[in-house]
Chain A
Amino acid sequence: MRFDLTRIIDWVPKGSRVLDLGCGDGEFLAQLEATRDATTLGIELETANITEAASKGIAVVQQDMDRGLSNFPNQSFDVVVMAHALQVLHRPHAVLADMVRIGREAIITFPNFGHWRCRLHLGLLGRMPVSRVLPFDWYDTPNIHFCTVKDFEALCEELDIKILDHDIVSGPGTNVLKSLAPNLFGSTAIYRVCKK
Chain B
Amino acid sequence: MQTANSVGLVTPRIERFEEPFVLASGDVLPGYELIVETYGTLNNAGNNAVLICHALSGNHHAAGRHSAEDRKPGWWDNLIGPGKPIDTNRFFVVSLNNLGGCDGSTGPNNINPASGSQWGPDFPEVVVEDWVNSQRALANRLGITRWAVVIGGSLGGMQALHWAVHYPDEVANCAVLAAAPRLTAQNIAFNEIARHAITSDPEWFDGYYGRQKKAPVRGLALARMVGHLTYMSAEGMTDKFGRERRHVDENHDDQVFEVESYLRHQGAQFSTRFDANTYLLMTRALDNFDIAADTDGDLCSALAPIRARMLIVSFSSDWRFSPSRSREMVDALINTGKTVSYAEIETDGGHDAFLLNDTQYLELMRAWLNRVQLDAL
Interface residues of A (CB under 8 A from B): 17, 41, 47-48, 50-57, 59-63, 71-73, 76
State the majority secondary structure of interface residues on A. mixed
From 345 to 371 in chain B, residues with beta carbon under 8 angstroms from any chain A beta carbon are 345-346, 360, 363-364, 367-368, 370-371
From 321 to 346 in chain B, residues with beta carbon under 8 angstroms from any chain A beta carbon are 330-331, 334-335, 337, 339-346
Question: Assuming A41-B334, A61-B334, is B339 touching A51 (CB within 8 A)?
Answer: no
- Which residues from A are CB-within-8-Å of B346? 47
Q: Which of B330, B340, B343 contacts A47 (CB 8 A)?
A: B343
Contact yes or no, A55 B335, CB < 8 A: no
Given A41-B339, A62-B343, 19 further pairs, Cβ under 8 A: A17-B337, A41-B334, A41-B340, A48-B360, A50-B341, A50-B342, A51-B343, A51-B364, A57-B371, A59-B339, A59-B340, A60-B342, A61-B330, A61-B341, A62-B342, A71-B330, A71-B331, A71-B334, A72-B334
- Which residues from A are CB-within-8-Å of B339? 41, 59
Q: Verify if B309 is at the interface (C-beta below 8 Å from A).
A: yes
Tell me the complex Cα distance, A55–B365, Å: 10
In whole Å, how far is B343's beta carbon from the nearest beta carbon of chain A? Answer: 5
In whole Å, how far is A111's beta carbon from the nearest beta carbon of chain B? Answer: 28
- Which residues from B are CB-within-8-Å of A59? 309, 339-341
Question: Assuming A59-B340, A59-B341, A62-B344, is B334 touching A51 (CB within 8 A)?
Answer: no
Tell me the complex Cα distance, A56–B367, Å: 8
Question: Assuming A71-B331, A73-B335, is B371 touching A55 (CB within 8 A)?
Answer: yes
Tell me the complex Cα distance, A59–B301, Å: 22
Residue of A nearest to B330 (CB): A61
Q: Which of A51, A62, A71 contacts B367 (CB 8 A)?
A: A51
Contact yes or no, B343 A50, CB < 8 A: yes
Show 15 residue pairs from A and B whose CB-CB distance is below 8 angstroms, ordered by the A residue.
A17-B337, A41-B340, A47-B344, A47-B345, A47-B364, A50-B341, A50-B342, A50-B364, A51-B367, A54-B368, A55-B367, A60-B341, A61-B340, A72-B334, A76-B335
In whole Å, how far is B111's beta carbon from the nearest beta carbon of chain A? Answer: 47
- Counting chain B CB atoms within 10 Å of each CB, which of A50, A59, A71 scores highest? A59
Contact yes or no, B337 A76, CB < 8 A: yes
- Which residues from B are CB-within-8-Å of A41? 334, 339-340
Tell me the complex Cα distance, A164–B101, Å: 62
Kindly list the 6 A-B residue pairs having the minimum CB-CB distance in the complex, ordered from nearest.
Answer: A55-B367, A54-B367, A71-B331, A57-B371, A61-B342, A54-B368
Mark contacts of B290-320 with chain A using CB atoms, 8 A cut-off: 1 yes-contact digit, 0 otherwise. Answer: 0000000000000000000100000000000
- Counting chain A CB atoms within 10 Å of each CB, which of B335, B341, B363, B370 scores highest? B341
Tell me the complex Cα distance, A150–B346, Å: 40
Tell me the complex Cα distance, A73–B334, Å: 8
- Which residues from A are CB-within-8-Å of B368? 54
Contact yes or no, B363 A51, CB < 8 A: yes
Residue of A nearest to B372 (CB): A57
- Which residues from A are CB-within-8-Å of B309? 59
Contact yes or no, A52 B367, CB < 8 A: yes
Tell me the complex Cα distance, A52–B335, Å: 24
Tell me the complex Cα distance, A71–B342, Å: 14
Residue of B nearest to A69 (CB): B334
Tell me the complex Cα distance, A130–B205, Å: 76
Question: Assuming A50-B364, A73-B335, is B370 touching A55 (CB within 8 A)?
Answer: yes
Tell me the complex Cα distance, A41–B345, Å: 19
Tell me the complex Cα distance, A60–B313, Å: 12
- Counting chain B CB atoms within 10 Å of each CB, which of A54, A60, A76 scores highest? A54
Q: Which of A53, A60, A71 contacts B335 (CB 8 A)?
A: A71
Contact yes or no, A54 B360, CB < 8 A: no
In whole Å, how far is A16's beta carbon from the nearest beta carbon of chain B? Answer: 14
- Which residues from A are CB-within-8-Å of B340? 41, 59, 61
- Which residues from B are CB-within-8-Å of A53? 341
Residue of A nearest to B310 (CB): A59
In whole Å, how far is A103's beta carbon from the nearest beta carbon of chain B? Answer: 13
Tell me the complex Cα distance, A17–B342, Å: 19
Tell me the complex Cα distance, A183–B363, Å: 43
- Which residues from A are CB-within-8-Å of B342? 50, 60-63
Tell me the complex Cα distance, A52–B341, Å: 12
In whole Å, how far is B17's beta carbon from the nearest beta carbon of chain A? Answer: 37
Residue of A nearest to B309 (CB): A59
Tell me the complex Cα distance, A17–B337, Å: 10
In whole Å, how far is B290's beta carbon from the nearest beta carbon of chain A? Answer: 21
Tell me the complex Cα distance, A158–B370, Å: 46
In whole Å, how far is B345's beta carbon from the nearest beta carbon of chain A? Answer: 7
Tell me the complex Cα distance, A72–B331, Å: 8
Tell me the complex Cα distance, A47–B343, Å: 6
Question: Assuming A47-B343, A47-B364, is B371 touching A54 (CB within 8 A)?
Answer: yes
In whole Å, how far is B302's beta carbon from the nearest beta carbon of chain A? Answer: 16
Contact yes or no, B364 A54, CB < 8 A: yes
Question: Assuming A47-B346, A48-B360, is B341 touching A54 (CB within 8 A)?
Answer: yes
